[in-house]
């Protein structure tokens, strides 16, 4: 159910004109924010485009950053006067206005946003629309009663800002604004309200910016807060470190393979539910669809191999494996070409799109899946596109490989060959349990050779993507995707 919202509340408007803020100050401010995606770009300018609304004493606006040779990047930026003494996320607005702060980190502003969602609301220049979950009205009102003292920004968020509303809700601000339907909102709503899936937090409501030109972008969403032990990455690696170091087994060891496999399969079964909604109904994985998937994987592999060729001199300890992989470039390309015969089987559905251990909360002995946004760096159209659910499966299997390495890395000098063998055995047994449970819950057969080959394709594509990332960001971890690629290609006898 959608209601025009919000309110231009009774709090005084900030004593500054957002449109007059100096570009240099805005660029400097943006460069300090974890959610800013343009750090590696050449910035030509920046400005604030006011929304024309105030909530909780903060002026709503869009930070528009002009990148040389590219489209402007737009970010949601509510601003309010900062407290005396400065602010870690402050913006120097000059002598007239003084120091401003990112209001998304301010408890009073967050409380006001939740109140906007909970109240009936009314038209406010047509600039902002509140969309509320009909089924969650009572819970939404309870979240709105949480005092500001219990509202805290959560750590660890990269591309967005997440705020805990007591123990009841998570308020998420989408910082990079993308025009169109936000995948996280529509997928969460579909799974939790139109299927029987119970492994995701409920969506309570969202705020969407509507511009005069008719374009729209989600700026915030409120989700159920689920009691948990932490994300699956932290829980799994902690458990594995305890095992590898010879300590006592954790009293509540998480069954990563079986539980995640079951929940992932249930998620994919839910996303394959036919409801008559064209945005979600499954479609055949036809020849054209498969060709796009293979072309994307081949392109990723080509770029990664180019990076690897430049990396060889910097990684002498990996030189033998690098040379072996580079020598097999033609054989790898021929392997991709062999996928033409797979057309005509399987289905395309909506998927999670950015699936790994960090996207799952461990709640008791169960798992709760989060962040159905897809890869934040991709356009919305790509994130909303239907594809094989095996792409998600590959993402989690690669995450198990990373967890095994990370656990050994935490042990440092104590991680000898015994620890390596034990962590590899954990990875393999966890992956096998995951696949068994996923197959049973999803109804997708992995006895089918075509599905196994398609899973290999997604595993290889993911590992090549990881290789490019590690070469640029964490060269010390380059061996993880490199050895994963070599192992897979050996299994398929592409290299010997």
- 153 and 34 in a common domain: yes
For 294-385, list the strands marked E by DSSP: 347-348, 360-363, 366-369
Distance from C-alpha of 141 to C-alpha of 463, rounded to nearest angstrom:
45
Residue 146 lies in a domain: yes
- 161 and 306 in a common domain: no
- 331 and 188 in a common domain: no
Residue 53 lies in a domain: yes
Residue 480 has pLDDT above 80, yes or no: yes
Residue 248 has pLDDT above 80, yes or no: no
Query: Residue 384: what are its φ and ψ, rounded to 5°?
Result: -90, -5
Note the pLDDT tens digit of each residue in 64-113.
999 998 999 999 999 998 865 456 678 877 766 678 999 999 999 999 99
Q: Which of 224, 249, 264 lies at the terminal end of a domain, its last residue?
A: 224
- 240 and 205 in a common domain: no
- 304 and 199 in a common domain: no
Residue 125 lies in a domain: yes
Residue 469 lies in a domain: yes
- 278 and 215 in a common domain: no
pLDDT recorded at residue 7: 44
- 175 and 57 in a common domain: yes
- 280 and 216 in a common domain: no
- 177 and 250 in a common domain: no
Note the pLDDT tens digit of each residue in 431-473.
999 999 999 999 999 988 889 999 999 999 999 999 999 999 9
| DSSP output for 61-96 | EEEEEEETTSPPEEEE--EEEPPTT--TTEEE--TT
- 118 and 50 in a common domain: yes
Distance from C-alpha of 180 to C-alpha of 448, rounded to nearest angstrom:
37
Note the pLDDT tens digit of each residue in 206-216.
999 999 899 99
- 165 and 235 in a common domain: no
Residue 199 lies in a domain: yes
pLDDT recorded at residue 136: 80
| DSSP output for 434-496 | HHHHHHHHH---SSSHHHHHHHHHHHHHHHHHHHHHHHHH-GGGTHHHHHHHHHHHHHTTS--
pLDDT recorded at residue 99: 84
Note the pLDDT tens digit of each residue in 410-424.
998 777 888 999 999
Question: Residue 232: in which H helix or E strand, if any?
Answer: helix 232-244
What's the domain range around 25?
2-224
CATH of the domain at 359: 3.90.1200.10
Number of domains in the chain: 2
Note the pLDDT tens digit of each residue in 350-364.
999 999 999 999 999
Residue 126 has pLDDT above 70, yes or no: no
Quick check: pTM over 0.85? yes
- 247 and 207 in a common domain: no
Q: Which of 203, 224, 245 lies at the terminal end of a domain, its last residue?
A: 224
Residue 496 lies in a domain: no
Q: Which of 189, 224, 259 lies at the terminal end of a domain, its last residue?
A: 224
Residue 29 lies in a domain: yes
């Amino acid at each position: 159910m959608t209601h025009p919202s919000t309110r231009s509340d009774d709090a005084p408007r900030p004593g500054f004109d957002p449109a007059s803020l100096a570009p240099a100050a805005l660029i400097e401010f943006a460069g300090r924010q974890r959610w800013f995606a343009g750090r590696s770009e050449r910035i030509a300018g920046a400005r604030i485009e006011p929304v024309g609304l105030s909530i909780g004493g903060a002026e709503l606006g869009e930070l528009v950053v002009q990148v040389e040779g590219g489209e402007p990047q737009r970010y949601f930026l509510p601003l309010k006067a900062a407290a005396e003494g400065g602010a870690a996320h402050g913006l120097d607005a000059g002598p007239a206005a003084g120091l401003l702060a990112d209001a998304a980190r301010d408890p009073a502003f967050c409380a006001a946003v939740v109140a906007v969602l909970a109240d009936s609301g009314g038209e406010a220049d047509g600039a902002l629309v509140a969309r509320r979950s009909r089924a969650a009205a009572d819970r939404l009102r309870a979240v709105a009663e949480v005092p500001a003292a219990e509202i805290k920004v959560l750590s660890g968020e990269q591309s967005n800002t997440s705020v805990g509303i007591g123990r009841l809700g998570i308020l998420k601000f989408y910082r990079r604004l993308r025009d169109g339907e936000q995948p996280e909102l529509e997928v969460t709503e579909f799974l939790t309200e139109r299927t029987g899936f119970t492994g995701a937090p409920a969506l309570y409501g969202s705020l969407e910016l509507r511009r005069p030109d008719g374009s729209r972008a989600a700026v915030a969403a409120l989700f159920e807060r689920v009691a948990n032990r932490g994300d699956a990455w932290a829980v799994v690696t902690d458990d594995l470190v305890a095992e590898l170091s010879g300590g006592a087994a954790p009293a509540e060891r998480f069954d990563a393979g079986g539980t995640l496999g079951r929940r992932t399969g249930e998620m994919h079964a839910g996303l394959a539910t036919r409801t008559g909604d064209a945005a979600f109904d499954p479609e055949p994985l036809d020849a054209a669809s498969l060709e796009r998937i293979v072309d994307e994987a081949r392109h990723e592999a080509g770029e990664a191999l180019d990076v690897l060729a430049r990396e060889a001199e910097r990684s002498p300890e990996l030189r033998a494996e690098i040379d072996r992989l580079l020598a097999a470039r033609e054989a790898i390309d021929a392997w991709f070409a062999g996928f033409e015969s797979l057309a005509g089987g399987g289905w395309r559905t909506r998927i999670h799109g950015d699936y790994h251990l960090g996207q799952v909360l461990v709640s008791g002995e169960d798992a709760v899946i989060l962040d159905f946004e897809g890869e934040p760096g991709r356009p919305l159209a790509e994130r909303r596109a239907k594809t094989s659910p095996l792409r998600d499966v590959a993402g989690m299997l690669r995450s198990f490989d990373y967890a095994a390495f990370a656990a050994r890395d935490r042990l440092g000098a104590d991680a000898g060959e015994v620890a390596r063998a034990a962590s590899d055995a954990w990875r393999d047994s966890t992956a096998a349990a995951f696949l068994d449970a996923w197959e049973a819950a999803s109804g997708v057969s992995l006895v089918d050779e075509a599905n196994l080959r398609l899973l290999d394709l997604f595993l290889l594509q993911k590992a090549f993507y990881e290789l490019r990332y590690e070469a640029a960001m964490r060269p010390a971890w380059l061996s993880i995707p490199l050895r994963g690629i070599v192992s897979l290609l050996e299994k398929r006898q592409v290299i010997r």
